[in-house]
Amino acid sequence: MPPFAGSNPLSYGFSRNSIDSASNIITIDVGGQLFQTTKQTLKQSGSKSLLSEITNFDIDVIPFIDRDPEIFSILLSLLRTGNLPSKAKTFDIQDLIFESQFYGVEHLLLNSQSNPSQFEPFDLEKSVILPLSGRDSPTAISTTQLGSVQVAHGCKITSFDWSLKRKSTILTQFAGIDSMLSLSPSIVAAGATDFSGLQIIDVSKGFVKETLNWENVTKSGSTVQAIGSSKDFLFTSFESSRRNSNCIMIYDLNDSFRPVAEIGHYEIFGAELDSAIPATKLSWISSHNLLMAAGSHCGPSGVRGNIRFWDIRSGNVVWEIKENVDCFSDCTVSDDLSAILKVGVHSGEVFISDLRNIGGENSWTCLGDQRKVTNGKKEGFGCKIESHGNQVFCSKGGNLELWSEVLIGNSIKDRVFRKNSMGRAKDICGNKITHFSFGGNKMFVTRKDQQYVEVWQSSVRGF
């Protein structure tokens, strides 16, 4: 339903022809100021908008809209070019949002300000601080494609809309949230390692829509270790409260979270400690229709782990990487780069393995200086790595590195990456980075012992 339904925002005056059928020009009076444009321009607003409705009028008077003419001129420019004019910076973004909602063109405003295609990795700098209520630091962060963000801190979840101007906070049943995934701007999936069940939460209304559990053999609770999703499915890594079994549950996102399958069910048997490692990271690889599940643990023999690639249709592992020497502190997968990437927990170096070699013998290639792995030292402990588009971002303490591929040839052996430091002098050397995520044309960063979220954005974008 358009934003003007049930009201009559238009009135008529100036008895002269408002629509010139020959020239296709339309004249509109907004707040006493006349504007001329074409039917084609107004139809860019969408079929359900007020402005598009004006093009259907066949009258001999000029439509009058009792709204702010200055903001209308900005929105008209948005219709004409797809971008906001420079004078838009003199207005509060919230005022532009309210007016765009009235005319039914908020989607165009959102696209001009938060379109993922406007993400410029080499020009990112810290631009905004989003404060959080209370004393708890962020424990999980999740974003949507067009830039809204949800932040878990303590028992609370705070949500910011795409403009980052509208903020709301709700209380949850969790003492602390360890995993969170945004399913929409208002719905999140959340879980904890010490509280049973995956909760589907409506953060706009503050209630739990659904609680999903794994019925394990011991009939104990099921804690959440990781959450992931594809277009159609929600993936959840569960571990029994007794920590003697784990699995990955698959739910149908299009059918009220109906359980579809259970894969990777492992039980601890004797001294087979590797079977006890639950997946702590789940990533969907759309180009291969595979689910990457990675997990590690620290035992008497050091840090060990595995990265498995699951065919969810057959429930079989099609490729497995066992990590024994320089196990990952964190890992990620990139469809754009067709690669798996990790940060070595001992060396702190970034490594790549090509997905074009999937199913074959795994071979990690170091992108950095290939420093010697020293026993007892964990240079990469706590480092995070994520891919976004064809770029790779890696946190090292309080700083971020950006790795970009230099195109040389098509061979796997020809792949060359170069490292870039991110941010200006004022942005670096802060507290240790705990999480970072991407939404719209922005990057969101949280740090240890800080009660806020940093927004990194191109200096030439936004307000």
pLDDT of residue 60: 66
Over residues 190-205, mean pLDDT: 96
Q: What is the mean pLDDT of residues 380-406?
A: 93
Are 27 and 34 contacting, i.e. CB atoms less than 8 angstroms apart?
yes
Cβ 67 vs Cβ 31: under 8 Å: yes
Residues 255 and 368 in one domain: no
Looking at 277, 307, 322, which one is the last position of a domain? 322
Per the listing, tokens 């789940």 go with: 282
Is residue 270 a part of any domain in this protein? yes
Full residue range of the structural domain in which residue 341 is found: 119-137+325-462
Of the residues 277, 296, 322, the one at which a domain ends: 322
For residue 128, the tally of other CB atoms under 10 A from its CB is 16
The pLDDT assigned to 3 comes to 40
Tally the C-alpha atoms within 13 A of residue 96's C-alpha that lie toward its C-beta: 26
Domain assignment present for 409: yes
Residue pair 265/225 in contact (Cβ under 8 Å)? The answer is no
149 assigned to some structural domain: no
Write the CATH number for 132.
2.40.128
Is residue 59 domain-shared with residue 86, that is, in the same domain? yes
457 and 335 in a single domain? The answer is: yes
Q: How many CA atoms lie within 13 A of 23 on its CB side?
A: 10
Residues 318 and 331 in one domain: no
pLDDT band for position 4 (50/70/90)? Answer: very low
DSSP-derived secondary structure letter, 90: G
For the chain, the domain total comes to 3
At residue 270 the predicted structure's pLDDT band, cuts being 50, 70 and 90, is: low
Q: Does residue 346 sit in the same domain as residue 383?
A: yes
Q: Do both 221 and 312 map to the same domain?
A: yes
CATH code of residue 317: 2.130.10.10
In this structure, the answer to whether residues 39 and 77 fall within a common structural domain is: yes
**Which tens digit of pLDDT belongs to each residue from 92-101?**
988 999 999 9
User: Which residues, at least 6 apart from 357, have a Cβ–Cβ distance to it below 8 Å?
Assistant: 363, 412
User: What pLDDT digit, counting tens, does each position of 412-431 carry?
Assistant: 566 789 998 887 777 777 89
Same-domain check for residues 105 and 125: no
pLDDT surpassing 70 at residue 116? yes
User: Would you say the pTM of this structure is higher than 0.85?
Assistant: yes
Query: Residues of the chain with pLDDT > 70: what percent?
Result: 89
